Structure 1
Amino acid sequence: MITFLVCIAILIIGYFTYGKLIERIFGVNEARQTPAYSQKDGVDYIPMGTNRNSMIQLLNIAGVGPIFGPIMGALYGPVAFIWIVAGSIFAGAVHDYLTGMISIRNHGAHLPQLAGKFLGNSMKHIVNVIAVLLLLLVGTVFVTAPAGLLFNLLDGWVALGVITGVIFAYYILATLLPVDKIIGRVYPILGALLVISAIGIGGMLLFTGAAIPEITLENMHPGGAAIFPLLMITIACGAISGFHATQSPIISRTMESEKNGRKIFYGMMIVEGIIAMIWAAAAMSIFYGTDLSDLIASGGAGLVVSEVAFTLLGAVGGTLAVLGVIVLPITSGDTAFRSARMIIADYIKVPQLKMMNRLWIALPLFVVSFALTNMDFTLLWRYFGVTNAAISAIALFVGAMYLAIQMKFHWVATIPAIFMTMVSFTFIFSAPIGFGLPMTTSYMLAGISTGIVVALFAYKVKLNREIENFKIDEDVTKIA
C-alpha cells in the first residue's frame, strides 16, 4: 500500500516539477495566435475552453490501454509501478506535450507532416502509413473491447452484433460531424463518469486496506516473460503511447492559448498514469499471481475489470465502474477514426469543409475496421503494441529535433526516444509475430539497430542546423 501511495504522489509532484521544466525548455508564447483562431473552419479548427479540452484530451488518449494494459502488466508484479511512474513523467507526458505544442506551432499539423518536416520527407510517407495502420487497429480494438464489456454487462440480453453496430454508428457520426457537436458536448459528461469510477476503485483500495504488493524489481510473471521489452509493450497507454501523438493534434486545433498546453497535454498524461496505477494495484491486490493469470486466460482483461469492479464496489457501484471503463475505449475509438480521416485528408490535400469529402475518406476506414473485428483480440493487441511503441519513438525524435535545431536541451526527448527505439526493435526481433529470435540475439541486434538510428538522427540534426533560417514554426498543413 505504501508503494502505491508513494507512486501516486510522485506522479502528481512530477506534473508540478518536471512538467514545468519541459514547459520552460519548450518556451511558451502566450501572445501567439493558435490554429483554433488562425485557421478556424467550424469543423476541426474551433476554439474551446481549457477544461473542456483537458477532458477531451484525457478521453482521447485513455482507451482501454491504461486499464487492460496495467491489468496484464500486473502479472510482472510491482515492477509495473516503476514503469508506469517513470514512463509517464519522463517519457509519456513529454511525448504528449511536445507533439501537441509543436503541432500548435505548425498550424495543427499531424505527426506525418511533422515527421516529414523535421526528420526528412521519406519519413512523412512512412509515418503516414504507420499512423493510419495504428489508428485502424486502435479503432478496431476499441470497438471489440467495449462491445464485449457491454455484452457481458447486459448478460447477453442484446446481441453482440447489434452492440457492435451501434458503436460503429456512433463512430461514424463523431468522425464526420464538427468536433464541437458531439465530442465537445458529450465528453465532459463521460469524463465525469470515468473520473468517478477511477476514484471509486482507488478509494475502496484504500478503505479496505487492500494487500497491494510493495516495490521490488523481481519479475513475478508466472510465464517468466521478459520485463524488457514486454512490460513496456504491454503497459503502453499508462506510461507512453504513440497513439497519443495522433490525438494531440485534435486538441492543438481547438486550444485557445499556448499557456494551457502543460495542463492539457502533460497533465492529462499524468492523470492517465494515475488511472493505470489504480487498475494495476487493484489487479495485484485481488487476483495476484496464478489467480490473475488464470482469470486473464479464461476471459481476458475485461473479465478482470468486471471482477474488480463488483468485488470492490458491489452491484450498483460495480456497474457504474464498468460503464466508466466502457467509456474509455469508445471515446478513444471515435477520435482514432477522426484522426485517421484528418491525416489522410492532409496527406492527399483534400479540404474537409464539405461533408462529402469527409464521407468518402472515412467510409473505407470503417469497412476495413469492420473486417478486422473478426481477428483475435490478443493478436490485434500485440500488433497495436509494437506499432504504438514505434510511433512513440518517432514522435519523440520529432520533439528532440525541434529542440535540437534551436540549441535547446533536447535530451529530455532524445533519451526516451532512444529507449523506445530499443524497446521496439527488441520486440520485433524477439516476438513470435516478429522474427522470433532468442532474447540475447534480439538484444544485440536491437542495440545495433538503435545505434544506427541515433547516428542518423545526429546527422539529420547537423544538416537541419546548417539550413539558413530553418522555419521550425510554420504552416505545413494548409490545403486551400
Structure 2
Amino acid sequence: MNSVVVLIFSILWFILAYRWYGKKLEKRLIQPNDQQPTPAVEFNDGMDYYPSKPVMLFGHHFSSVAGAGPILGPIAAFAAFGWGGTLLWILFGTVFIGGVHDYLSLMLSVRFKGDSLPEIAQEAIGRRARNLFSVFVLLTIILVVGVFGFVAAKTLASTPSVVIPTFGIIPIAMLFGFMIYKLDFSTILGTVIALAGLFCLIWLGYEFPISLPFPSQANFGIWFVLLMGYGLIASVLPVWMLLQPRDYISNWILVIGMALGFMGIFVTHPTVNAPALTSLNSASGPIWPTICIVVACGAISGFHSIIASGTTSKQLAKESDGRLIGYGTMLTEGLLAVIALLAVSAGLFWDAPVGMEKFGFLTVLNSGGPIKAFGLGYGRLVEPFIGTFGMLFGITMLKTFVMTTLDTCIRLGRMISAELVGPKVPLLKNKFAGSIFIAIPAFFVGYTGTYNIIWPIFGAANQLIGALSLLVITAYLVGVKKPTKYTLYPAIFMVVTTIASLLYQGYNFLVKPNPDYILGGTAIVLIVLAVVVADEARKIVTDGKGESLEVELQS
C-alpha cells in the first residue's frame, strides 16, 4: 500500500466528515444560538471564564487533548495488530464516536453554565452518578498529572536539547498573550514573531543542551520538582496570560509538524511495508476490545470530555464556534494519528533490509520505545526538508504537548474538587488550595513511581470515562427531546467494549501464578462503576424521564 494513497483518503474522509456528520450534529442536536451569551461571556472573571478567539481556543483545546496519546496509541496498536485494523478504527472511531463525544461534551457544558460533565451528571442522571463520576475523574486527573510530570522530567534529564525550548516558550507565550489581549496586537503578526522566537529556542536547545551535573536520579528529581511547581503556578494564572497563548503557540508546532509530515510523505511516497494484520490476538489481548482501548486519543478518549467541559467550555465566545473547537479538533487529532501510523509503518521497516537494520520498527521499539520509534520514522519522512534535525523536531512535538496537559489538568482538578468537595470543605474553593489539593498526590504518585501500580489499567479507565460521558449526554438529549441515536449507540458500544476489556484484564490479573489483587480489584470496581452509572442512565432513556431537566434548561 502506498502511503500517499492512505494519507489522501484520510484527509478527504475527515473533510467530508466535518462538513457532513459534524454539520448534522450541529443542526439536529445543538442548534447554536449566538444571541445567547456563553459562560465565557456571562461569567467573565478574567481568570477561568474568558472569551477566546476561535483560533486561540482551537490551539488550547487541541494542545490539551492531544498530548502524546494520538501518537503513542496508534504505534502500540500497530505493533500488536498491524496497520489495517488500527487505521480503520482511527477513521471510523474518530468520526462517529470520538468527534461526537468531544463536540457534545463541550456544548453540554456550555448549556449548563460551564459546569464539568461530572457535575452535569447529577442533573441528567442523579446524585449517585455524579459522585461516582466526579471521584473517578479526580483520581484520573491526579494520575495523569503524576505520569505526565514523570515522563516530562525523564525527557528533560535524558534529552538536554529540549530544556531550552521547554521552558523558553513560557515567557514567549506570556508576552504574546499580553500583546494580543491587552495591546490588541495583530494575531497574525504576533503569531509570526512568537513562532520565530520558538524556533530560535529549538535551535538554541540543539546548540546548547543543558545537563544538570548530578546523578541521574537527582537530575530527574530536580526537573520533576520544577515541572510540578510550574504546573501549580500556571494553574492559578488567568487563562489569557499563559494557558491560551502557550497552547496556541504549541498548537502551531504540531500544525507545522503535520504539514512537514504531509510534504514528506508526498515527496518520498514510501510504501507501507508492514502487514495489514499481524494477529487477531496479542500479548495485550484480542484485537477487540484491545485495539479500541490502546489507540485511545487517536479515536476516542474520555479525557477529552474532562478538558471540553473543564476549561474549553469556559472560553467559548459563541456557540457557533463549538463545531470547529469540539468536532474539528478531534478530526485533526485523528489525522495526527494517521501521520504517526505512517511514520512507523512506512518511515520504518517491518523487515529491515541488510544495512538498514537500525531503521527496523521492532528493533527500535524494543530498544528505544515508541517515542524514539516515532521520532526516527518521522525524521526519515521529513529528511528532504530539515535533514537530520527531523528526529529532534518529532520528539520536541511530543514534549511540548506533555507540558500543555500538565498545568491544564491541575486547573481542571481544582475546578472539579471545588464542585465536588467545596460545599463541605470551603477551603477548596480557594484556587491556590484547590490546586495544591491536586498537585500534592500527583507529585507523590509521579515521583515515587506509585502510578506503575495502577497504570496498566488506565487505558480501560480512560475509555470508561468516555462511555459514561456519552451516557450523560444521551440522558440530556432525552430530557430536551432530541434524537439520541447519535450518542446512544456509541455509548452502548463503548460501555460493552470497556467492560469486556476490564473483564479480560481482571481475569488475567487474578488467575496468573502471582495474582495482582490490586489491579484485579480495581478492574472489578471499575466494572461495578460502569454498571451502576449505565443502569441509572438506562432508567432515564427507557422510562422517557427528563421533563424536569427540559423545564430547567428552558427557564
| TM-score for both structures, normalised by structure 2 | 0.77
1:161-172 equivalences under 5 Å are 161-172=221-232
SS of alignment partner, residue 256 of structure 1: coil
SS of alignment partner, residue 210 of structure 1: coil
**Inter-CA distance 178–189: structure 2 relative to 1 (3 Å threshold):** same
> Is 1:276 matched with 2:349?
no
Rounded Cα–Cα distance in structure 2 between residues aligned with 1:404 and 1:52: 33
Name 2:27's counterpart in structure 1. 24
SS of alignment partner, residue 152 of structure 2: helix
From 409, 413, 416, give the equivalent of 1:336: 409
Letter in 1 for 2:125: L
1:349-428 equivalences under 5 Å are 349=422, 357-373=430-446, 374-375=448-449, 381-428=455-502
CA deviation string 1:369-415 (max 9, x = no partner): 12212337776643321111110001101111121223322111011
Letter in 2 for 1:473: L
From 276, 292, 308, give the equivalent of 2:361: 292
Q: State the Cα distance separating 1:455 from its structure 2 match.
A: 6.0
Letter in 2 for 1:295: V
From 444, 455, 460, give the equivalent of 2:540: 460
Rounded Cα–Cα distance in structure 1 between residues aligned with 2:546 and 2:315: 34
Name 2:10's counterpart in structure 1. 7
Rounded Cα–Cα distance in structure 2 between residues aligned with 1:423 and 1:355: 36
Name 1:443's counterpart in structure 2. none
Name 1:40's counterpart in structure 2. 44
Identical columns (%): 26
Name 2:166's counterpart in structure 1. none
Rounded Cα–Cα distance in structure 1 between residues aligned with 2:40 and 2:426: 15
The structure with the larger Rg is 2
Rounded Cα–Cα distance in structure 2 between residues aligned with 1:180 and 1:436: 49
Q: State the Cα distance separating 1:206 from its structure 2 match.
A: 2.8
SS of alignment partner, residue 347 of structure 2: helix
Name 1:233's counterpart in structure 2. 293
Name 1:127's counterpart in structure 2. 133
Rounded Cα–Cα distance in structure 2 between residues aligned with 1:161 and 1:149: 12
Q: State the Cα distance separating 1:282 from its structure 2 match.
A: 0.9
SS of alignment partner, residue 109 of structure 1: coil
Name 1:308's counterpart in structure 2. 377
Letter in 2 for 1:71: I
Name 1:202's counterpart in structure 2. 262
Name 1:157's counterpart in structure 2. 211
**Inter-CA distance 298–278: structure 2 relative to 1 (3 Å threshold):** same
CA deviation string 1:27-49 (max 9, x = no partner): 21221110012112221111111
Name the stretch that deviates more: 290-299 or 421-430.
290-299
Q: Do 1:95 and 1:396's aligned partners in 2 also have CA atoms closer than 8 Å?
A: yes
Q: Do 1:352 and 1:358's aligned partners in 2 also have CA atoms closer than 8 Å?
A: no
SS of alignment partner, residue 315 of structure 2: coil
Q: State the Cα distance separating 1:296 from its structure 2 match.
A: 3.0
CA deviation string 1:29-70 (max 9, x = no partner): 221110012112221111111111111010110011111111
Q: State the Cα distance separating 1:218 from its structure 2 match.
A: 6.0
SS of alignment partner, residue 258 of structure 2: helix
Gaps of 5+ in 2: 162-209, 213-218, 352-359, 513-525
Name 1:141's counterpart in structure 2. 147
Rounded Cα–Cα distance in structure 2 between residues aligned with 1:381 and 1:293: 23
Name 2:54's counterpart in structure 1. 50
Aligned length: 468
Name 2:205's counterpart in structure 1. none
Q: Do 1:464 and 1:470's aligned partners in 2 also have CA atoms closer than 8 Å?
A: no
Rounded Cα–Cα distance in structure 2 between residues aligned with 1:56 and 1:382: 28
CA deviation string 1:78-127 (max 9, x = no partner): 21011111111001110011110010000001011111111211011101
Name the stretch that deviates more: 191-200 or 283-292.
283-292
**Inter-CA distance 289–381: structure 2 relative to 1 (3 Å threshold):** farther
CA RMSD of aligned residues (A): 3.1
SS of alignment partner, residue 176 of structure 1: coil
Q: Do 2:90 and 2:337's aligned partners in 1 also have CA atoms closer than 8 Å?
A: yes
From 504, 508, 519, give the equivalent of 1:430: 504
**Inter-CA distance 366–39: structure 2 relative to 1 (3 Å threshold):** same
Letter in 1 for 2:271: A
**Inter-CA distance 34–67: structure 2 relative to 1 (3 Å threshold):** same
**Inter-CA distance 288–224: structure 2 relative to 1 (3 Å threshold):** farther
CA deviation string 1:416-450 (max 9, x = no partner): 11111012111111115875579xxxxxxx99998
CA deviation string 1:113-168 (max 9, x = no partner): 11111121101110111101111122122222233333333278243333323322
> Is 1:116 matched with 2:118?
no
| TM-score for both structures, normalised by structure 1 | 0.89
Rounded Cα–Cα distance in structure 2 between residues aligned with 1:240 and 1:230: 13
**Inter-CA distance 296–116: structure 2 relative to 1 (3 Å threshold):** farther
> Is 1:61 matched with 2:26?
no
CA deviation string 1:354-383 (max 9, x = no partner): 999112121132221122123377766433
Letter in 2 for 1:83: W
SS of alignment partner, residue 444 of structure 2: helix
Q: Do 1:197 and 1:324's aligned partners in 2 also have CA atoms closer than 8 Å?
A: yes
Q: State the Cα distance separating 1:278 from its structure 2 match.
A: 0.4
Name the stretch that deviates more: 297-306 or 244-253.
297-306
Letter in 1 for 2:539: Y
Letter in 1 for 2:13: I
